[in-house]
Amino acid sequence: MNPALPAPLVPLVHGIAPGASPVLVPQLGVGTYKVDDAEAERVVAEALALGYRHVDTAQMYGNEAGVGRALAASGLPREEVFVTSKLWVSQFTYDKAKEGIDQSLAKLGLDYMDLYLLHQPYGDVAGAWKALEEAQEAGKIRSIGVSNFYADQVKNLELMAKVKPAVNQIETSPWFQQEEEVAFLQGEGIAAESWAPFAEGKDGIFTAPTIASIGSRYRKSNGQVILRWLLQRGIVVIPKSVHRARMEENFDVFDFH
C-alpha cells in the first residue's frame, strides 16, 4: 500500500479568541469511545505512528490518561497533534466546569487542549460554557464547542455566548445523514463533526451493496467510501477502531473522489 496522504486541515471559524488566527483541525482523526484506558494508550500510539494528528477523547470515556501517555511517548511536538476532549454533564455548572477542565488537562498531561466540548445539552449549559470561555482566555483551551446539540440548542447558545461554538459533534452516517443539521451548522460557520460514521456497524453497513458498488470503482472498502463521502461533505470525522490494519485503511481515503 502506498503511504497515506495527510488529512487536510479545516479552519475552525468560531470558538477562537478575538483577533486570533483560526485554529486548524485535521479533518480526519481517531476516536476512542468505548476504549479502556490501557488500550487507548496503544490505539493512540499506533494511530500517531500511522500519521493521524487528531485524537478525540472525553471525560466520560475514562481514557484521558491513556491518551495522554501515548501523546507523551510519541515524541511528536505538541503543536503537531490536535487533541479534543469533552466535559461530562455531571460537571455542568460554572465552578464544576472549571474543575473539570483542569482535571482533563491533568489526566492528559497537557498545558492546553486544542478543542474542548460540552458533551451533552443538559444541565447548566450557560454556566459550563462561561467556564470554557474563561479557560480559553487563559490559554487552557484553543477552541471550544459542543456535542449532541440540536440546531435550536446551538442557536440558543450562540445568542447568549460571548464566544460562538466552533464545532458540534453529532452522529452522522449513511444511515443517519443529518442533512438539515449539517446544513444549519455549516451555514453558521460551525464545523460539523461526525461520531459513529459507520453507524456502529449496524444494518450491514460494511457490506451494503450500494456502498460496495461505489467502492468497487476505486478498489476501496465500504468504510473508506463512507469516510470519503463524509469528508467531501465538509464534515470532520473521527472513526474509532482498535485494529491497526483498520486504522491504516481508514486513513487511506484522500486519493479518490
Tell me the Ramachandran region of residue 196: left when phi exceeds 0, alpha when psi lies from -120 to 50, beta otherwise.
left
Alpha-carbon distance of 46 to 53, in angstroms, equals 11
User: Active site includes 33?
Assistant: no
**Which of these is catalytic: 33, 61, 150, 218?**
61
Q: How far is CA 56 from CA 20, 117, 194, 235, in A?
A: 23, 11, 11, 15
Closest CA to 64 of 83, 92, 91: 83
> Is the torsion defined by CA of 127, 170, 234, 197 positive or negative?
positive
Q: How far is CA 107 from CA 12, 70, 113, 143, 207, in A?
A: 25, 12, 11, 19, 39
Amino acid making up residue 239: P
Three-class SS state of 43: helix
DSSP structure string for 156-219: HHHHH-SS--SEEEEE-BTTB--HHHHHHHHHTT-EEEEE-TTGGGGGGTTT-HHHHHHHHHHT
The residues assigned a catalytic role are: 61
